[in-house]
């Protein structure tokens, strides 16, 4: 969410999709605004999200040693994505048809190509439904919300994880196969973070069963190293994909987060637990808020003579409670009921 707000309102040093920066000029543009450009290009939390998607079912399997949860996940994965994604798309369509998106005037004001890439021609309800059922979950269509590009990757990455767990998890020498799978991800780096999440779960469960807590310095080294690798300047990666490098960073961070007693206490904070509960709802809802309410507020403050710096402060401060409120509403009205509906579908299919 923070990454998208920075892209929309303060995209200094951004060199990614629709940045308008030519390939030969990316390094110069990136380092002109360094270290801020680490934030404006900071997509690493998404790779942690990918890793966690694989980590959870793998953790449950390695703990219990049964395929019951995996069978359930294989059956419901599409439906578990479909209903929240459909809610996101239809909500965006409603705002779009009501003329509630202001990404175009915002992009013109800030000379931001990324803003201007969204919400140009209002689509039909038929198109929205087609996107919800097929184009978004299977082809990554993000016409209605930028974050939806990764829904197909989540779907395919989930099934990659399930197949990998079922295929190798019972083998004694599976770590050799992990190495082989890692090498294979260079052919399609999109799945590196998912593989990393699965391996991290195996390592964490093995440590837990032996009641091993890694030395504080080692957990700190893994955590800091993962953060550095996960935010390594893209312009220095050469031929390595960000999916590979940032996926490795996500893998390294997951181990100390699950093994360090101190990090466990931090992550058990009541607010962080709630944020985790509403995380998917916030991911799906924030873009619509950002390009409607927040953009409208920014434009009106600008028209009333508020300086750019103060405008940013006001927009960012109001974005926190508004997005939280909408995320909570989205969770209780769409995501939570859809989870119950998905459970019902599983009972009927199983």
- Where are the domains positioned within the chain? 2-349
- Name, in order, each residue with C-beta under 8 angstroms of 324's C-beta and a sequence gap of 6 or more: 278, 282
Neighbouring CB atoms inside 10 A of 324's CB total: 18
**DSSP classification of residue 42:** -
- Give the position of tokens 């309102």: 9
- Predicted confidence at residue 195, as pLDDT, reads 96
Across the chain, which has 350 residues, the per-10-residue mean pLDDT values are: 90 88 89 90 90 95 88 92 96 95 95 92 92 95 93 96 90 90 93 96 94 92 95 89 95 94 89 90 96 97 96 96 96 94 88
**Residue 333 CB neighbours (<10 A):** 12
| pLDDT at residue number 66 | 84
Task: Specify burial of residue 215 (Cβ count, 10 A radius: 0-12, 13-18, 19+).
Answer: exposed
What does the alpha-carbon distance between residue 30 and residue 40 come to, in Å, rounded to a whole number?
9
């Amino acid at each position: 969410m923070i990454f998208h707000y920075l892209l929309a309102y303060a995209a200094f040093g951004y060199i990614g999709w629709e940045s308008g920066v030519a390939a030969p000029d990316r390094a110069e543009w990136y380092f002109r605004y360094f270290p801020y450009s680490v934030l404006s290009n900071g997509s690493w939390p998404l790779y942690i999200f990918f890793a966690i998607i694989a980590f959870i079912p793998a953790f449950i399997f390695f703990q219990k040693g049964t395929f019951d949860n995996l069978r359930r996940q294989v059956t419901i994965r599409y439906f578990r994505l479909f209903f929240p994604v459909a809610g996101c798309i239809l909500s965006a369509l409603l705002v779009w048809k009501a003329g509630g998106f202001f990404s175009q005037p915002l992009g013109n004001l800030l000379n931001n190509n990324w803003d201007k890439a969204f919400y140009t021609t209002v689509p039909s309800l038929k198109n929205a439904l087609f996107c919800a059922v097929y184009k978004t979950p299977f082809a990554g269509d993000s016409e209605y919300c930028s974050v939806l590009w990764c829904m197909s990757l989540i779907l395919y990455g989930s099934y990659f994880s399930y197949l990998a767990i079922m295929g190798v998890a019972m083998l004694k020498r599976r770590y050799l196969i992990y190495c082989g799978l890692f090498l294979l991800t260079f052919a399609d780096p999109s799945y590196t973070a998912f593989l990393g999440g699965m391996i991290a779960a195996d390592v964490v469960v093995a440590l837990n069963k032996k009641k091993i807590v890694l030395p504080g310095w080692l957990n700190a080294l893994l955590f800091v190293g993962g953060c550095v690798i996960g935010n390594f300047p893209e312009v220095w990666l050469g031929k390595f994909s960000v999916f590979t490098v940032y996926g490795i960073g996500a893998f390294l961070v997951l181990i100390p987060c699950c093994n360090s007693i101190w990090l466990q206490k931090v992550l058990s904070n009541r607010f962080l637990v709630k944020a985790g509960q509403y995380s998917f709802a916030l991911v799906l809802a924030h873009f619509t808020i950002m390009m409607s309410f927040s953009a409208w507020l920014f434009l009106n403050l600008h028209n009333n003579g508020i300086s750019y710096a103060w405008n940013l402060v006001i927009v960012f401060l109001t974005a926190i409670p508004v997005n939280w409120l909408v995320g909570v509403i989205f969770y209780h009205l769409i995501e939570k009921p859809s989870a119950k509906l998905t459970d019902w579908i599983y009972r009927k299919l199983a």
